[in-house]
Amino acid sequence: MTTIITNSYKHIAVALSLAALLGACKVGKNYQRPELPLPQQFADSVSFADTSSIADIQWKEFFTDPALQSLISKGITYNNNLQAAIKRMDQAQQQVRQAKLLQLPEVNLQIQGSINRPSDNSLNGLSIGTFLGKPYVENYVTSLNFSWEADIWGRIRRQQEITIGTYLQQQEAVKAVQTQLISDIAQGYYNLLMLDKQLEITKNNLLLNDSLVLATRALRDGGSVTTLAVQQVESQRQATALLIPQLEESIALQENALQLLTGQNPGKIEGRSSLNEQTLREQLSAGLPIAMVSRRPDVRSSEMALTIANARVGLQQANMYPALNITAGGGLESFKASNWFSIPNSLFGLASGTILQPIFQRRTLKTNFEVAKLQREEAVINFRQSVLQATSEVSNALVRTAKLREQRGIADAQVDILRQAVHNAQLLFKSDMANYLEVITAQTNALQAELNVATIQRSQLGVVVELYRSLGGGYK
């Protein structure tokens, strides 16, 4: 019995060695990045020779405002969307741990005891009673069983590639959620500072309107102007005053939106700075487009989807080839519990090898293979589109950066002129050399110009954030 078991395992060892040699084969093409429609450099970039990028800067160094840093830290810690993405990544990591062991055999330990008591009038019952001298049969088995599939065509290795690719894709998804979250928090924070600034401007202009109302009433009482003039000035004051509750409402809503992003209950954002305290970065290097592809998480996620699709093609192709399965087992078996562990008499062993070649499965395997190839082609298209979209976003941000700088210069000059115009109109009005309509017009234009400057300031800060995000910054 021992000799038979030994010879069986020798045969298995030979089969395993042969399978290992055949395992060097792997059907399907390994992944190669397709050609991408990338320019050599971004339009309006600082310099072709400058390969550095602001995306390489850690977010704590990129955003220097303490209040904004605090909000971003809270968001990374408590934002529910980011935490959910991390959990999905953890799930994929567990699957990777399992996939690393796919090429090892399955091992099962079995311990079984059974009693069979057939009918006394049956053929089995008569035979058992005659043979054993008792009306039942006992059987006790302890066995260790092995089952192993030889990865001849790389089917298991392709499955491992899919699992690892899925994990890497989830990693990039977490980074993408974080970069977008940081961008959203920064954009919301700068929007809040803009609203604060616009509220301050509006309140200051309301004070000017109050002075004009008092002056117009005095002139009416002196008979210089009519009641109509007072009414128009008061109407202009009310139009300015109406902006205050509207802005206060927008501020409260923006604060609540930021609290939601940071995983907190609705409430005020304390300790924030002012819009004028924010400084714009002088150097906004975008680096090279090819570096952006390797850095930007959503593009990397799209490329991981392509590697997964490529591995699935190999997997489906391998499913069309023969599969070699080897099973073996051995242990102790006895009809009596008393000699269950009697060695070598209770020893037994078995071994088998099976080659399964699919022949006709109603075109299922062929269809799966063709569909996998088409899905790979679709993944190539999606990857190229993600690269094109990312390149476009970076280029747009660079263009907006330059044009907003020009707008800021014009808007600042306009504010200076209109402030002087308001001052001159007030002096002329007091000297009875200008009417109230000219003063109203000057104050309205000045208010709108100052509000516009605040909007441009906010847009300048926002486009820097957008450039940082579009280049892939924020996950470091």
Query: Contact at 8 Å (CB) between 151 and 157?
Result: yes
> Distance of CA 449 to CAs 237, 407, 424, Å?
17, 12, 17
Q: How far is CA 271 from the centre of its chain?
A: 30
DSSP H helices, 268-363, are: 289-295, 297-318
Residue 361: inside a domain: no
Is residue 14 domain-shared with residue 113, that is, in the same domain? yes
Query: Contact at 8 Å (CB) between 443 and 209?
Result: yes
Residue 45: pLDDT band (50, 70, 90) is low
What value does the mean pLDDT take over residues 29-45? 83
Is residue 286 domain-shared with residue 392, that is, in the same domain? yes
For the ranges 7-11, 171-175, 393-397, 403-407, the lowest mean pLDDT is seen at 7-11
Is residue 317 domain-shared with residue 344, that is, in the same domain? no
Q: What is the pTM of this model?
A: 0.85
With 0-12 CB in 10 A as exposed, 13-18 as middle and 19+ as buried, what is 425? buried
**Which of the two residues, 276 and 431, has the higher pLDDT score?**
276
Residue 374 has pLDDT above 90, yes or no: yes
Return the CATH number at 374.
1.20.1600.10
Residue 119: inside a domain: yes
What value does the mean pLDDT take over residues 50-56? 80
User: What is the torsional sign of CA 154, 156, 158, 161?
Assistant: negative
Is residue 385 domain-shared with residue 437, that is, in the same domain? yes
Q: CA 392 to CA 318: how far, in whole Å?
A: 40
Q: CA 150 to CA 20: how far, in whole Å?
A: 7
- What are the beta bridge partners of residue 149? 325
Residue 27: pLDDT band (50, 70, 90) is confident
pLDDT in the model for residue 20: 47
Residue 23 has pLDDT above 70, yes or no: no
For the ranges 27-36, 46-55, 83-92, 272-281, the lowest mean pLDDT is seen at 46-55
Long-range contacts of range 13-18, CB-CB < 8 Å, 24 or more positions apart? 15/150, 15/324, 15/326, 15/353, 16/148, 16/150, 16/326
Domain coverage including residue 419: 31-103+153-322+366-470
Give the dihedral of Cα atoms 446, 450, 456, 459; nearest 10 deg: -140
Is residue 138 domain-shared with residue 164, that is, in the same domain? no
Instruction: Tell which residue, 177, 180, 168, 179, has the closest CA to residue 305.
Output: 168
Residue 179: inside a domain: yes
Structural domains of the chain, count: 2
Is residue 143 domain-shared with residue 226, that is, in the same domain? no
Domain end (from 356, 374, 408): 356
Return the CATH number at 340.
2.20.200.10
What value does the mean pLDDT take over residues 219-246? 90
**Which of the two residues, 402 and 429, has the higher pLDDT score?**
402
pLDDT in the model for residue 134: 81
The fraction of the chain above a pLDDT of 90, given in percent, is: 61
Q: CA 471 to CA 464: how far, in whole Å?
A: 11
Residue 415: inside a domain: yes
Is residue 86 domain-shared with residue 186, that is, in the same domain? yes
What value does the mean pLDDT take over residues 90-111? 93
Amino acid at 36: L
Is residue 126 domain-shared with residue 194, that is, in the same domain? no
Residue 47 has pLDDT above 70, yes or no: no
* 3-state secondary structure (DSSP) of residue 105: coil
> Distance of CA 437 to CAs 229, 445, 451, Å?
8, 12, 21
Residue 3 has pLDDT above 50, yes or no: no
Is residue 7 domain-shared with residue 20, that is, in the same domain? yes
What value does the mean pLDDT take over residues 167-193? 96
Long-range contacts of range 414-420, CB-CB < 8 Å, 24 or more positions apart? 414/449, 414/452, 415/446, 415/449, 415/450, 415/453, 418/442, 418/445, 418/446, 418/449, 419/446
pLDDT in the model for residue 5: 42
pLDDT in the model for residue 379: 96
Residue 476: inside a domain: no
For the ranges 4-18, 33-47, 173-187, 329-343, the lowest mean pLDDT is seen at 4-18
Residue 7 has pLDDT above 80, yes or no: no
Residue 308: inside a domain: yes
Q: CA 288 to CA 292: how far, in whole Å?
A: 7
Residue 4 has pLDDT above 70, yes or no: no
Is residue 42 domain-shared with residue 61, that is, in the same domain? yes
Domain end (from 334, 356, 378): 356
Instruction: Tell which residue, 108, 103, 107, has the closest CA to residue 149.
Output: 103
What value does the mean pLDDT take over residues 195-203? 95
Q: CA 428 to CA 201: how far, in whole Å?
A: 24
Is residue 59 domain-shared with residue 198, that is, in the same domain? yes
